[in-house]
Structure 1
Amino acid sequence: MRNPAELSPRQKTLALITLITALVLEIVDMTIVNTALPSIKASLGADARASQWIVAGYSLAFALLLMAGGRLGDSYGYRRMFVFGVIGFTLSSAACGMATTGTGLVAARLMQGATGAIMAPQSMALVQVLFSPLERVSRMAMFGVIGGLAAIAGPILGGMLIEANLFELGWRAVFLINLPVGIGAVIAGLMLLPEARSGRPAGYDFVGIGLFGLAMAALFWPLIGAGEAGRGAFHFVTLLAAAPLGWAAWRHVARRVRAGDSALFDPALFTIPTFRKGLALSVVFAAAGAGFLLVFAFALQAERGQTPLFTGLLHMPYGFGAMFGIGVMSRNFLPRLGRWVLVIGAGLMLPACTAVLYGATFAQWSWAVIGALLVLSGAGMGMTSGCIGPIVVSRVERDHAGAASALLKTSQQLGSALGVALVGSLYFAWGHAFPALAAAGVIDAMLAICVVLALRLPARLF
């Protein structure tokens, strides 16, 4: 492929479409499983623990390897690692679709997340390579809009594929549909993307990646399926090991920064109040959102007896509310109201999400009422999530912008996995009627923490 500067506008547009295709693959596979989970659970006989890992494993593997994926592109070339990531993602999608046990599907989902973490950073890097700073503004906005639409489309597409039952594949089609898309993306990537890499590759810190990975595994392994019987001393000791492992990882990164060696991030970022508090808010808010969407999709089918297609379509009001919250409310009011946009957003989402789960399961309200409440829930979600990103990087120096953005995305993925672990464990372990209402209590607690964290942000954010 020629130098990026030699590409015509048409070639750049085709390259951008290729990158957007990968973005859609990555995001859809985060949300498409929620709708399919009841069918998967019934088909494979997966227990509650496996069911949670099927959802959380993707986000966890993605989060742990995201920063490493960015470094690989810097060193070996963005196009090469993009193609490698798409090939791995496509093969692991095939493995998901052909899984015959819950354990096999969990392993394939972990591989999906790991290869997605290689694929995703290259898209952002190649946008930087292909377009001038002014051109990037509209292209990055396009990524945001399409990413939001992809998140909405995931549950809908999952429901449609299961309902259609193409070739008697059932739920397997939600993974196997990635094969033709992935093959097309590989061919397009080889033909259309420029060959580029960083002039100053940052190097690797495999020890840091390993230590943080062990710390996260020690945290999530006992939390997922925490309500199951037979949880012994091993799980408790594993949970206790998470803190010292995390401390060791932090010390290791700090030591490498002081020595001038490559590191995953600079701990000095966490001395910035807006970054530190914004990142904490990002984790908790992502956990609340992921927990709500998991329980909502599962409860509609298990407790209300709805089809996967109807469940997917019912996500649309939530998505429309989120787009309004992000595109209108957060964009227009964050510069003027500052932290109060987040306070209002999380405060609105708290009662609305509770009302959705209560009305959809216990009270069995009409779908029109549920739809209206979902719009309010989505608007609150959009107001909050649309503000978190700008706040986190608001006082970060440009030299650290890449690492700060990667840490933000990592925190969001870890938060999603945490929400599935905590909320999902309570939901599946609840031995009484209407487990969605019990799960709503945990979601409410998380959103209340979000309100408190938002109030603790500085009055002047920018």
Structure 2
Amino acid sequence: MTTSVNHSRLGKFGLYVLLAGQLLPQIDFSIVNVALDAIAHSLHATETELELLVAVYGVAFAVCLAMGGRLGDNFGRLKLFNFGVLLFGVASLLCGLATSIWFLLAARALQGIAAALLVPQILATIHVSLTGHAHSRALGFYGAIGGLAFIVGQVLGGFLVSADIAGTGWRSVFLINLPVCAAILACSRRWVPDTRREHAAHIDWPGTLLLTAVVLCILLPISLGPSLHWSWPCFALLAAAVPLLRMLWNAELRQEQRGAFPLLPPSLLRLPSVRFGLLIAILFFSCWSGFMFVVALALQSGAGLSPVHSGNAFIVLGASYFAGSLLSTRVVAKLGRTPTLILGCLIQMSGLLLVMATFNRVWPHPGILNLAPATLLMGFGQAFIVSCFFRIGLADVPAEQAGAGSAMLATLQQASFGLGSALLGAVFAQTLHYSGHYLDATLAGLGAEFCLMLILLLSAVARHYRSRDLPVAVQAGVK
């Protein structure tokens, strides 16, 4: 059996460097949202081109994630992490210097590729370099930074666009990455251990191409469907994903049966913990992105708030999320993974109902103060859910497949971000079309999210009664 080579243990400062690297791509996933109007005026972009600007980053990110994990396994995770950070800095500079929308689109695609190279190395390095409490604690930090970055992107983007630092306007949301990239590269070689597989695996080109086709067939029509009025090519692409997915499964099975190293090992999908982790990704991260999208539309288009005030409405959610993530390690140790997930769902769903009640009571004047109690509850519950997603999804993944396992989870996570915005956005838009009232549309979108969260809650309860997870503190040595 192949094993993972680990030259030294990951220390506290090394973990901080990895988490700083994690901030880069995840903040950039949402920071551009509040800059779209400024970009449209500056580069004369059409609505479809703005849709592409959001989609191309996510598509490139999701398509290349699994390959990024495999390259890190083979050539060294620190080397791929540093290369990804460097490439991300170059791509950010190109975004900041863009003089046309098509130049900006190409630079955003390069940003997505760079993100896919660096992100799998972070979770894989944590997974193979730490054990026991240190491993669980690091995953708590990983979950805290991951979710917080999505919210920080909204707040920071609104501030930078409005501040217009040195006349850079929307360009500052990309140029701010440059000093961060430089600092990470200066610290990583000293503090981050270099890990890799003991024996390099061949690149799975059939799996890579088929995975690319599947992701494109799902994410492109979901991202562009609303702007193309869901014309027949969108449905044709979605339908094509089904046979392509079957072809991908058969190709990966053949690779595994030959003793090769498939990009997405079917053996991992046979693990109940991995399958349940993927279910969490589909349901919860769709709800996460859908909530951010619907509430942003409600606050800006419906209530008329500026990008700065709209972004500030998520500050309480972000703060409570961060606090909950730091607490999640002790909660998981006391209750167990699945019970903590159930608790997180109950808290999040209570907060969601309170958000709906608040909108109904204060409309058309929602703001950071009247939304604070509800978003505080939501952030706390979401922190428990995200931390359990990584703990459950990687619980039984062997160290030599850490890169493939983390890439598989991250790929579906990114795909679900796009799926949620499209699904809940479609409910929002359809309700707005028929009723003409933003409040009705907002409540309909959030109601759809509640239904998805209810499915996740019931699935978690069923899993708990099947497996009866013991508290992690009792499972000595288990990651």
TM over 0.5: yes
| Fraction of identical pairs, as percent | 29
Shifted more, 122-131 versus 412-421: the winner is: 122-131
Shifted more, 322-331 versus 157-166: the winner is: 322-331
Residue 444, structure 1, aligned to residue 447, structure 2:
yes
Q: Secondary structure in 2 aligned to 1:377?
A: helix
Question: Structure 1's 246 and 47: CA in aligned 2 closer, same or farther, altered over 3 A?
Answer: farther
Question: Is the contact made by 1:65 and 1:117 (CA closer than 8 Å) also made in structure 2?
Answer: yes
Question: Structure 1's 58 and 43: CA in aligned 2 closer, same or farther, altered over 3 A?
Answer: same
After superposition, give the CA deviation of every residue in 1:361-411 in whole Å (9 maximum; x if it has no partner). Answer: x44246422122221222332343333333334455666555433322222
1:9-408, aligned counterparts within 5 Å?
A: 15-127=14-126, 136=135, 138-189=137-188, 197-228=196-227, 231-328=230-327, 331=332, 333-334=335-336, 337=339, 340-355=342-357, 362-365=363-366, 367-394=368-395, 402-408=403-409
* 5+ residue gaps, structure 2: 470-479
Q: Which amino acid is 2:39 matched to?
A: I
Q: Name the counterpart of 1:455.
A: 458
Shift, 1:455, TM fit: 1.4
Q: Name the counterpart of 1:409.
A: 410
Normalised to the residue count of structure 2, the TM-score between the two structures is: 0.82
Shifted more, 440-449 versus 285-294: the winner is: 440-449
Question: Structure 1's 397 and 186: CA in aligned 2 closer, same or farther, altered over 3 A?
Answer: closer
In structure 2, how many angstroms separate the alpha carbons of the residues matched to 1:384 and 1:128? 19
Question: Structure 1's 35 and 301: CA in aligned 2 closer, same or farther, altered over 3 A?
Answer: same
After superposition, give the CA deviation of every residue in 1:272-301 in whole Å (9 maximum; x if it has no partner). Answer: 444324412321210111111123234423
In structure 2, how many angstroms separate the alpha carbons of the residues matched to 1:316 and 1:437? 25
Q: Which amino acid is 1:34 matched to?
A: N
Question: Structure 1's 186 and 16: CA in aligned 2 closer, same or farther, altered over 3 A?
Answer: same
In structure 2, how many angstroms separate the alpha carbons of the residues matched to 1:164 and 1:104? 24
Question: Is the contact made by 2:95 and 2:108 (CA closer than 8 Å) also made in structure 1?
Answer: yes
Question: Is the contact made by 1:284 and 1:446 (CA closer than 8 Å) also made in structure 2?
Answer: no
Question: Is the contact made by 1:347 and 1:448 (CA closer than 8 Å) also made in structure 2?
Answer: no
Shift, 1:415, TM fit: 0.5
Normalised to the residue count of structure 1, the TM-score between the two structures is: 0.85
Question: Is the contact made by 2:60 and 2:112 (CA closer than 8 Å) also made in structure 1?
Answer: yes
Question: Is the contact made by 1:342 and 1:451 (CA closer than 8 Å) also made in structure 2?
Answer: no
In structure 2, how many angstroms separate the alpha carbons of the residues matched to 1:416 and 1:350? 18
Q: Name the counterpart of 2:477.
A: none
Q: Secondary structure in 2 aligned to 1:197?
A: strand
Q: Secondary structure in 2 aligned to 1:306?
A: coil
Q: Secondary structure in 2 aligned to 1:72?
A: helix
After superposition, give the CA deviation of every residue in 1:192-231 in whole Å (9 maximum; x if it has no partner). Answer: 6555533222332122121111112112222223234565
Shift, 1:165, TM fit: 0.7
Q: Secondary structure in 2 aligned to 1:262?
A: coil
Instruction: After the TM superposition, list the runs of 4 or more consecutive aligned residues in structure 1 that deviate by more than 6 angstroms.
Output: 128-134
Q: Which amino acid is 2:441 matched to?
A: A
* 5+ residue gaps, structure 1: none
Q: Which amino acid is 1:450 matched to?
A: M
Q: Secondary structure in 2 aligned to 1:305?
A: coil
Q: Secondary structure in 1 aligned to 2:255?
A: helix
Shifted more, 436-445 versus 78-87: the winner is: 436-445
After superposition, give the CA deviation of every residue in 1:1-37 in whole Å (9 maximum; x if it has no partner). Answer: xx98689x9xx66544433331221222223223333
In structure 2, how many angstroms separate the alpha carbons of the residues matched to 1:392 and 1:6? 25
Q: Secondary structure in 2 aligned to 1:265?
A: coil
After superposition, give the CA deviation of every residue in 1:100-123 in whole Å (9 maximum; x if it has no partner). Answer: 444443433222121111012233
Q: Secondary structure in 1 aligned to 2:226?
A: coil
Question: Is the contact made by 1:292 and 1:353 (CA closer than 8 Å) also made in structure 2?
Answer: no
Question: Is the contact made by 2:351 and 2:375 (CA closer than 8 Å) also made in structure 1?
Answer: no
Question: Is the contact made by 2:347 and 2:377 (CA closer than 8 Å) also made in structure 1?
Answer: no
Q: Secondary structure in 2 aligned to 1:415?
A: helix
In structure 2, how many angstroms separate the alpha carbons of the residues matched to 1:131 and 1:229? 47
Q: Name the counterpart of 2:473.
A: none
Question: Is the contact made by 1:73 and 1:122 (CA closer than 8 Å) also made in structure 2?
Answer: yes
Question: Structure 1's 284 and 48: CA in aligned 2 closer, same or farther, altered over 3 A?
Answer: farther
